[in-house]
């Protein structure tokens, strides 16, 4: 709940001309700042703002010396030599665990190397202790036809009340990306359960391009755990648009369809906004008293007549959308501007110079929210939101 003090401050700040950029369905305020841009005041239903801890980032980067015997290529590989990015996060005991995508040096260019998933541990959410070998990787198993040679990518992880960790990840065989599911009790040994939609509708969606599974969670006590919506597990998923699926067991998922039998859209890209090119699910969604909150990744269009001209073409920034508790397909509100965007040099360099903050890991830890994200498809960083503080979202550039 925003404090009375913030409202008093806004009375004075609003005397400065505001940007006329609010939609009829959104109460997000943008208040003009005289020197550095626009103050990004978030509505009460949104999470944040998130602050990057000074001098701490990136928290995970490539390591050239860690070797792993690849059961597919039958040789040692420098499995995290090239890039480390797109992390999941979860709390276990008194520590935060980060599962991150790592690329070896087997090729040049995005999607041309093999990805594996590594594991790091932290008692403060910032200083990381890393395992020397990956915990998820292409192997001589039933999944090799889906995972080799591209690998295992972009995990999201949530946990049940009885301690079962559920990972949704992308299998990539360099032909088709598929959303897959794995489970673990210790975060180290994972059981692969195959494509999430393999059995739904007689296999109709087995061979579609799909990724980015965000299972709905809630805070119970001081723990963030998987919950049910209308007596079933619920997941938002999708890259170009956000769709949804339901499950009785967290392993087999059934996409939600419209009256024509097609995938039913939750949200889609918007012309002229930061998410004009795609809307891809971020970390596990959160059930709150105001609704179901989904944090997502929005990509800006490359075409000048369709993109938000305040941001670079192709930029990945982060948005939020609030869905109805009783009808999780119904949008209540959606931010018109990103709450988190590329600001630092390491978020605008290396593999993706246009700028990328790609959010996939969000945990509630010791009264604060820790957001883990990929930087320019190359590094892992963290930003922290303290609910006890009134903090705006990332400053916005002036409109062109």
DSSP readout, 288-353? -SS-EEEEEEEE--SSTTTS-TTS-TT-EEEEEEEE-SS-TTSEEEE-SS-SB---SGGGSSTT-T
* Element at 144 (helix H, strand E): helix 144-147
Q: Are strands 95-103 and 75-78 parallel, antiparallel or unpaired?
A: unpaired
Cβ atoms of residues 379 and 120 within 8 Å: no
pLDDT of residue 29: 58
At residue 226, the 3 state secondary structure works out as strand
In contact, 312 and 274? CB cutoff 8 Å: no
Separation CA 351–CA 294 (nearest Å): 27
d(CA 368, CA 389): 10
Task: Give the angle 150-156-157 at the CA atoms, nearest 5°.
Answer: 125
> Reading across the β-sheet that carries 368-375, which strands appear in turn?
357-365, 368-375, 379-385
Strand pairing category for 286-287 and 191-195: unpaired
pLDDT of residue 20: 29
Residue 217 bridge partners (DSSP): 226, 286
* 398: DSSP letter: P
Rounded-to-integer distance, Cα 312 and Cα 371, Å:
23
| Beta-bridge mates of residue 219 | 224
Return the CA Rg of the chain: 20
Would you call 139 exposed, middle or buried from its count of C-beta atoms within 10 A (0-12, 13-18, 19+)? middle
Strands 254-255 and 223-226 come out as unpaired
217 cis-preceded (ω within 30 degrees of 0): no
Q: What is the DSSP letter of 268?
A: -
- Report the distance separating Cα 295 and Cα 339, nearest Å: 10
Residue pair 211/150 in contact (Cβ under 8 Å)? The answer is no
In 10 A of CB 217, how many CB atoms? 23
What confidence score (pLDDT) does residue 270 get?
Answer: 98
Q: Which pTM does this prediction carry?
A: 0.91
How far apart CA 72 and CA 68 sit, in angstroms, is: 11
To which residue do tokens 């605008």 refer? 348
Q: What is the pLDDT of residue 112?
A: 78
Q: What is the pLDDT along the chain (400 residues), one digit of tens a residue?
A: 444 344 333 333 333 222 222 333 444 655 555 456 789 999 999 999 999 999 999 999 999 999 999 999 999 999 999 999 999 999 999 999 999 999 998 767 666 789 999 999 999 999 999 999 999 999 999 999 999 999 999 999 999 999 999 999 999 999 999 999 999 999 999 999 999 999 999 999 999 999 999 999 999 999 999 999 999 999 999 999 999 999 999 999 999 999 999 999 999 999 999 999 999 999 999 999 999 999 999 999 998 889 999 999 999 999 999 999 999 999 999 999 999 999 999 999 777 777 999 999 999 999 999 999 999 889 999 999 999 999 999 999 877 6
Q: Are 22 and 28 in contact (CB under 8 A)?
A: yes
Q: And the tokens for 171?
A: 């299998």
Q: Which H or E run contains 6?
A: helix 4-13
At residue 163, the pLDDT reads 97
* pLDDT at residue 105 in the model: 84
The DSSP call for residue 202 is: G
**Angle formed at CA 217 by CA 347 and CA 395, multiple of 5 degrees:** 30
């Amino acid at each position: 709940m925003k404090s009375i003090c913030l409202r008093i401050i806004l009375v004075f700040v609003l005397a400065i001309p505001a940007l006329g950029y609010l939609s009829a369905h959104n109460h997000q305020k943008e208040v003009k700042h005289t020197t550095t841009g626009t103050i990004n005041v978030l509505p009460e239903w949104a999470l944040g703002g998130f602050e990057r801890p000074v001098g701490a980032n990136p928290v995970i980067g490539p390591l050239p010396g860690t070797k792993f015997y690849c059961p597919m290529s039958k040789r040692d590989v420098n499995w995290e030599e090239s890039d480390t990015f797109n992390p999941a996060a979860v709390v276990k005991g008194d520590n935060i665990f980060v599962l991150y995508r790592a690329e070896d040096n087997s090729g040049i260019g995005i999607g041309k190397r093999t990805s594996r998933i590594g594991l790091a541990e932290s008692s403060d959410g910032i200083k990381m202790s890393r395992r020397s070998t990956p915990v998820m990787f292409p192997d001589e198993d039933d999944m090799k036809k889906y995972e080799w040679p591209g690998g295992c990518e972009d995990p999201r992880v949530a946990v049940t009340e009885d301690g079962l960790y559920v990972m949704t990840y992308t299998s990539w065989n360099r032909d088709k990306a598929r959303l897959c599911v794995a489970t673990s009790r210790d975060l180290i040994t994972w059981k692969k359960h195959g494509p999430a939609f393999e059995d739904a509708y007689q296999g109709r969606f087995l061979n579609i391009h799909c990724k980015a599974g965000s299972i709905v969670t809630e805070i119970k006590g001081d723990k963030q755990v998987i919950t049910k919506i209308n007596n079933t597990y619920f997941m938002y998923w999708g890259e170009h648009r956000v769709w949804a699926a339901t499950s009785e067991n967290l392993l087999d998922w059934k996409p939600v369809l419209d009256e024509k039998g097609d995938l039913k859209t939750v949200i889609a890209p918007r012309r002229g906004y930061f998410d004009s090119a795609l809307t891809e699910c971020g970390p596990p969604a959160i059930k709150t008293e105001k609704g179901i909150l989904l944090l997502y990744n929005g990509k800006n269009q490359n075409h000048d007549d369709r993109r938000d001209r305040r941001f670079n073409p192709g930029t990945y920034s982060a948005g939020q959308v609030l869905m109805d508790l009783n009808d999780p397909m119904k949008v209540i509100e959606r931010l018109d501007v990103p709450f988190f965007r590329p600001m630092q040099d390491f978020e605008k360099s290396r593999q993706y110079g246009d700028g990328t903050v790609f959010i996939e890991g969000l945990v509630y830890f010791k009264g604060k929210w820790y957001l883990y994200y990929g930087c320019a498809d190359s590094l892992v960083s963290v930003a922290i939101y303290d609910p006890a503080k009134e903090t705006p979202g990332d400053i916005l550039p002036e409109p062109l």
